[in-house]
Amino acid sequence: MKQQSRDPYSPAPIKSLALSQRNGVIVLTCLLALLGACNANRTDSNKGQRLRLNVGDINEISMVTRQDTTWQLTATSDNQEVVDVSRKPLGTTTGNGINNGANSATATGGSVAFLIKGVTAGTARVVFSEKPVGEEGAGRVKKTYVVTVVNK
């Protein structure tokens, strides 16, 4: 049998062209899936609703509480140099209304308001969680904010 020599510059047969196109689509799909996974991991590290404040601005956050008085709602910041988190006083107050250190509230039903104040430029994560009164630990996370504080 005589073998036919194929010219290297001639067009590829239809079968191998279709196969290479299909492989190209598979490779492209895998590449896009990997890029999407990388992006998803980066977003997970900054999980939470975004909030932007100027230095000195105060934002009020209201959270719905349980009707049970044996639970308390707490708010903590991972960077207290950037944001100050405090519970909004229930009655009338003197001064600016910021109550440093009082960042928990015993649930009486309804909602509780917290104040987030931008102190210096930067980013901080503020976590609202609930736990039984007197229990140690962080409790169950209800809401997370990623707060970015910028200069005016």
Q: How many domains does the chain have?
A: 2
Q: Are residues 59 and 27 in the same domain?
A: no
Closest by Cα among 31, 127, 110 to 74: 127
Q: What is the CATH number of the domain that holds 124?
A: 2.60.40.2020
Do 74 and 141 share a structural domain? yes
CA distances from 143 to 17, 45, 111 (A): 53, 15, 14
Does the residue 106 lie in any domain?
yes
Per-position DSSP letters for 50-61, written without gaps between them: EEEEETT-EEEE
CB 75 within 8 A of CB 127: yes
Domain assignment of residue 123, yes or no: yes
Answer yes or no: is 101 within a domain. yes
Q: Are residues 40 and 104 in the same domain?
A: no
In a domain, 26, yes or no: yes
d(CA 124, CA 109) in angstroms, rounded, equals 28
Are 114 and 147 within 8 A, CB to CB?
A: no
User: Can you give the pLDDT at residue 48?
Assistant: 83
pLDDT on residue 100: 39
CA distance to 58, 109, 126, per residue, from 106 (Å): 22, 9, 19
In a domain, 2, yes or no: no
Which range marks the domain in which residue 33 is found? 13-45
CA distance 85 to 31: 43
Amino acid 43: pLDDT: 39
Q: What are phi and psi of 136, to 5 degrees?
A: -85, 160
Per-residue pLDDT of the chain (152 residues; tens, 9 = 90+): 556 666 666 665 555 555 567 777 787 786 677 766 655 444 344 578 999 999 999 999 988 887 777 888 888 899 999 999 998 887 644 444 444 344 554 444 577 899 999 999 999 999 998 888 888 887 889 899 999 999 98
Q: Is residue 36 part of a domain?
A: yes
Pair (91, 133) in one structural domain = yes
Give me the pLDDT at residue 38, please: 59
β-bridge pairing 122-132 and 140-150: antiparallel
* Same domain (yes/no): 76, 110: yes
Q: In what order do the strands lie in the sheet with 122-132?
A: 49-54, 140-150, 122-132, 71-77, 104-106
What's the confidence (pLDDT) of residue 99? 40
Supply the pTM of this predicted model. Answer: 0.58
